Amino acid sequence: MSSSFSLTGTDLTTDRLLLRPWSTDEITAVLDDARQPHWAEDFPAEGDRVIAGFIVKQPDARGEYGHRQIVERESGLTVGAIGLFWPPVDGAVEFGYGIVESRRGRGYATEAARAIVAFALTGPGVHTVHAEVELSNPASVRVLEKAGLRRLGGDGTTARYGTTAPDLPQR
């Protein structure tokens, strides 16, 4: 799995995206339905509201290895969210993501997933990164496959995709 990202402070930067930790103001605006000028017209989606509520209940979700907004670098608009469910359990960490409908089909989810997976594998004690996907969502399955994850298992309705790092130096 190849990934190109740089880390500046707590922001992850890819070719077209900035993955920026949620600020308190952003969380409050999402939960209060207070429209912000730097949001895509269809942000936040329902999943973003769920994550904002999760972050309020789990303050660690805003840490270095927590949840981030996905910002289109060219426009500066927030177009989705991605994040790690930290801390790792037995060396594995799960991630989740969502892109608003108006920005789907541009490869943003794959680009963000590659970056967050590569970043997660630099985390202390992490050797595996995985995501759960509903099989009724073939676009999300393709995102995970394009991001370099392989199917690890599942049942009739969901699948688990993941990747394991070779012996990488931990930071």
pLDDT digits (tens, 9 = 90+) for 88-120: 999 999 999 999 999 999 999 999 999 999 999
For residue 1, tell me if it sits in a domain.
no
**Proportion of the chain above pLDDT 90, given as a percent:** 85
- 157 located within any domain: yes
2-17: buried (b, 16+ CB within 10 Å) or exposed (e) per residue? ebebeeeeeebbbeeb
**171 domain-assigned:** no
- Give the per-residue pLDDT at 168: 42
Residue 144 maps to which CATH number?
3.40.630.30
Nearest to 152 by CA among 168, 119, 129: 129
Domain assignment present for 40: yes
| Closest of 60, 71, 65 to residue 26, by C-alpha | 71
Judge whether 170 lies within some domain.
no
Beta bridge partners of 98: 81
- AA letter at 148: G
pLDDT at 3: 56
pLDDT(1) > 80: no
* Structure confidence by residue, pLDDT tens digits, 25-57: 999 999 999 999 999 999 999 999 999 999 999
- Identify the domain containing residue 66 by its residue range: 6-164
Residue 80: inside a domain, yes or no?
A: yes
> Which of 84-93, 103-112, 135-144, 162-171 is predicted least confidently?
162-171
Select the more confidently predicted residue: 18 or 60: 18
**Residue 128: band (very low, low, confident or very high) from pLDDT cuts 50, 70, 90:** very high
pLDDT bin (cut points 50, 70, 90) of residue 161 is very high
In the chain, the number of structural domains is 1
Radius of gyration from C-alpha coordinates of the chain? 15
In a domain, 130, yes or no: yes
C-alpha distances in Å from residue 71, one per residue of 27, 109, 132, 154, 155: 15, 11, 23, 31, 33
Report if residue 111 sits inside a domain: yes
